[in-house]
Amino acid sequence: MKAGKLTYHHADSIDSALALNRRFEGMGKFMAGGQSLMPMMNLRMAFADQVIDISRIAALREVKAVGDKLFIGAGITHAMIEDGKVEDPARGYLRHVAAGIAYRSIRNRGTVGGSLAHADPAADWPTALRALDAVAVIRGADGTREVTLAEFQVSVMETSLADGELLQGVLLPRLSPGARWAYQKFCHKVGEFAHSIGAVVFDPAAGIVNVVLGAVGGKPVRLAKVSARLADGLDAQEVASSGFMTLLEQDLAASTSLDPASYDFQVHKTIIKRAVMETLKK
């Protein structure tokens, strides 16, 4: 199948992209890499009479320091991060995540902003950046606003972007020299969307201790009990203990509607356990 009839527009600035969208009463679709939008339109799972190409907007590929954080524009591709063309303030975490996204051809064109705005729970960046306490920078007719990534994604393929708004980029913290992290995911085959994702960022010096489960429910979720136990000084030997596993099961039960005896529940349990163990062994 192919997409229905559409009109293509090229925007050369954020303001022109927003103006075009206002002209179409918020019904135009922004397209950067097109790696999610076009397949969905081809399958008639997404519809747009007007497509606004924002891939050549320089401001969306900007990378700059903002206070003690790093701003990465929404138009930055996965490959740019993988290849080290963009600074990684998370000490190798971003490069590791980027290198595992789909296939190289997808990484060459797919963008960080596109992944976040598409809001597929099984995509990599929504979970990975949620674990970093990233902040979404949103541009609209009334100016710029910031939303934590925990609040940016609302549900399955639904975000807090209002009609006429555009994701400009994300603000990322700079992890301390003592920071540790892990990113584990389970796929039936290389390159496909994950069936379970476990992201852990442990940096008490920066005030970040997050264990996040992705590819489940409506959006990635922070496992509160496990995160708190990690912050209290969990060691690698305890991860296999009955006490830790009970905490993990309680978190999963609170975060999902899955039967604890189900295959999916056990997969998520295993992935989170592996991610926590990897973090503690670094």
Tens of pLDDT, residues 139-176: 998 999 999 999 999 999 999 999 889 999 999 999 99
Give the type of residue at 265.
Answer: F
Q: Which pLDDT does position 24 carry in this prediction?
A: 83
**Predicted structure pTM score:** 0.93
Tens of pLDDT, residues 63-107: 999 999 999 999 999 999 999 999 999 999 999 999 999 999 999
Q: What's the 3-state SS for the chain?
A: CCCCCCEEEECCCHHHHHHHHHHCCCCCEEECCCCCHHHHHHCCCCCCCEEEECCCCHHHHCEEEECCEEEEECCCEHHHHHCCCCCCCCCCHHHHHHHCCCCHHHHHHCEHHHHHHHCCCCCHHHHHHHHCCCEEEEEECCEEEEEEHHHHEEECCEECCCCCCEEEEEEEECCCCCCEEEEEEECCCCCCCCCEEEEEEEEHHHCEEEEEEECCCCCCEECHHHHHHHHCCCCHHHHHCHHHHHHHHHHHHHHCCCCCCCHHHHHHHHHHHHHHHHHHHC
Token digits of residue 45: 């799972």
Give dist(CA 80, CA 226) in Å, integer.
33
Contact 81, 98 (CB under 8 A): yes
Inform me whether the pLDDT recorded for 48 exceeds 80.
no
Inform me whether the pLDDT recorded for 11 exceeds 70.
yes
What are the φ and ψ backbone dihedral angles of 129, each rounded to 5 degrees?
-80, -25
For the chain, the structural domain boundaries read 7-50, 58-173, 180-281
Q: Which CATH number is 180-281 given?
A: 3.30.390.50
Residue 205: pLDDT band (50, 70, 90) is: very high
Q: Which pLDDT does position 163 carry in this prediction?
A: 86
Q: Which pLDDT does position 8 carry in this prediction?
A: 82
Inform me whether the pLDDT recorded for 4 exceeds 80.
no
Percentage of the chain beyond pLDDT 70 is 93
What are the φ and ψ backbone dihedral angles of 260, each rounded to 5 degrees?
-55, -20
Q: Which pLDDT does position 26 carry in this prediction?
A: 67
Inform me whether the pLDDT recorded for 34 exceeds 80.
no
Fold of the 58-173 domain: 3.30.465
Q: Which pLDDT does position 49 carry in this prediction?
A: 78
Closest by CA position to 234, among listed 185, 175, 278: 278
Q: Which pLDDT does position 1 carry in this prediction?
A: 59
Closest by CA position to 103, among listed 25, 186, 172, 193: 193
